[in-house]
Structure 1
């Protein structure tokens, strides 16, 4: 399983390694929403949370599904601007202006990807297709009333939600992110320069190896492969390839492969230490539970968000009873938690337990 980027005909000058303040803000919001994904950021998360204005914290919860699972493609708006040549802005204000340049259809499709588990696609937008609109609201219903309200507002009045999101991100910048970015931007700029020098003097393959050992180049096939527990494909076509470093993103290595958008590889530049492994008895039980490839793929979804049994069945092309059996094994091993929301039962991976199981598996499911 992997994400592949076809780069046939890509000129070296169309490969850019550029820091993105908006992408880093997205990772900051993700870390604040899912601190278990980022054990090395616990001190930063605690400090920011303690100082955060309660009203801003409440607003953060209104649309946290845009960054809780990882973060939405909305945090990479440069990739969706027509022409496929735009790079991330040097400042957050520039990138918020880029966000404004996306069409309503692009904005809604990207927002619904995580809001309602809507897949990447090239079909009509829910803004114009009544069937897709109903499907989006049905999917939102399983995520709770908050996501239903957000999705209804998004589908009925996109400009209002766009204005809300822009103001929210600007307020986050003022409240905590500007100081964080001031500390991080020099490290990210230095890493971008290092990778750019490698590209110029050693070539693309050498540079990609420095980005991550899971990113490889097949020069003969003109293809980059990113080893992930997901399947996707994109192409640079007549555009470019963007690589964006992140200090807050470890262990996530993300690939934007939305149709019609520039490919983007968002990679971490730091690797903090994880906690000690579990006991031998627990390790044996958990490794047995994870020995099945389907359960590993289920864990990838549950690491990013809570899912119902029926949602997992749809994603994996299996029946609900089959999924239930796999969930039972994972729950017995203490790897997942469940909670009830109305008539829905939601399952989620206990990332803290997985972190104790081992960094290789954690990186695999969160990559």
Structure 2
């Protein structure tokens, strides 16, 4: 699993680190709509939601499907416009500049991006006929929106009937967000994001792409030939930063509000963008998806869960566990090996005995319910 970005032959100067106020506003709106995804932002989301004007809160609820579950590409319009002569088109320095870029997206592209909430952008599949011009595509759009809910259906009807009106409505909504809460937030966080982007640019220049990606996230890697970037995600897809029709370039967008989400724009007809959270010291880096799968499989066995219960309370030897649960020592060893390969155990030698103990810090990253169940 994962998303791959073809960068074969791409000059490092065309890999650009740059903050985006519009993309960050998407993350801010997502955090407000899904506070459970962002426990580290609990105080901010609670305070901001409490002081929202009720009218603005209702308007945000009306458009919430653009950022609540999936993230519409309308928040990265720079990637959907023709490339600049000296490299990829970059985000604007201000929200107003980026909203101007959004206004420049052709109607068909804007509509396709705005309809991602009902899986109509044909993501990474080469696109398809526009529901603005194709009756069959229009019917599919309305049927898919109806399956999502009345709010999505009403939005889709308006979007297909009057895309210009919806554009103006969305722009006004985002401008009101800037006035109400985002402008102050962006002034506070943008200097740090700019400094981070400058540091990553210098790291890329001095130490190369592998070092720069390591500074972004452990979920990003580049192959030994330096031709493919792989983003470790529980999804599959591919895109190219060297498509001659789109113009070469890859934009890396740092985010303060994005953790734990790591986004990759890899839609057909758009240049690739990676929006990644800037890690703070107290936030852990993401583990590989393969390791997560190994840990979940290791904990799926009822005997291994029972062993974890004992090992969460204190260290124990293989023989002690065999006596406790009435199974053979070799069987205990096999279960412990699975848990150890998943990185869930620590071991230490005490004289001629080897003691095993559950790594509660690692288990806690899988979920507090799991820890409480083991310790109950």
Displacement of 1:126:
1.5
Q: Deviations over 1:232-266 (max 9, x none)?
A: 11001232010000000000001001112111010
Query: What's the secondary structure of 2:148's corresponding residue?
Result: coil
- Structure 2 length-normalised TM: 0.73
**Which residue in 2 is equivalent to 1:303?**
none
Q: Mark the CA change 1:159 to 1:210 in structure 2 (over 3 Å): closer, same or farther.
A: same
Q: How many residues align?
A: 290
- 1:27 aligns with 27
Instruction: Answer whether contact 2:121 2:127 (CA < 8 A) is retained.
Output: no
Matched position secondary structure for 2:215:
helix
1:134 equivalenced with 2:133 (yes/no): no
Q: 1:149 aligns with which of 143, 154, 157?
A: 154
Q: 1:257 to 1:25 in 2, by over 3 A?
A: same
Separation of aligned partners in 2, 1:176 and 1:57: 12
Per the alignment, residue 333 of structure 1 pairs with: none
Normalization by structure 1: what TM-score?
A: 0.74
The residue number in structure 2 matching 1:215 is 220
The equivalent of 1:55 in structure 2 is 55
Residue 130 of structure 1, CA deviation: 1.5
- Do the aligned partners of residues 166 and 14 (structure 1) sit closer, same or farther apart at CA in structure 2, a change above 3 Å counting? same
* Contact 1:115/1:151, CA 8 A, preserved across alignment: no
Partner residue, 2:172: 167
Q: Deviations over 1:10-53 (max 9, x none)?
A: 11111100001111111000000111110101100011111110
Structure 2 counterpart SS, 1:126: coil
Is 1:201 paired with 2:241? no
1:1-367 counterparts in 2 under 5 A?
Answer: 1-83=1-83, 85-116=88-119, 118-120=121-123, 121-220=126-225, 222-237=227-242, 238-270=247-279, 287=296, 355-356=367-368
The question of whether the paired residues in 1 share the 8 Å contact of 2:111 and 2:159 is answered with yes
Contact kept in structure 2, 1:30 and 1:70, CA below 8 Å: no
- Partners of 1:73 and 1:136 lie apart in 2 by 17
- Give the distance between the partners of 1:185 and 1:90, measured in 2 at CA: 10
Q: 1:357 to 1:82 in 2, by over 3 A?
A: farther
**How far apart in 1 are the matches of 2:264 and 2:169?**
26
Q: How far has the Cα of 1:354 moved from its partner?
A: 6.8
Match of 2:259, SS? coil
Larger radius of gyration: 2
Greater shift in the superposed pair: 165-174 or 80-89: 80-89
Q: CA deviation at 1:270?
A: 2.6
- Compared with structure 1, are the counterparts of its residues 273 and 12 closer, same or farther at alpha carbon in structure 2 (3 Å cutoff)? closer
Structure 1 unaligned regions, length at least 5: 275-285, 293-352, 360-367
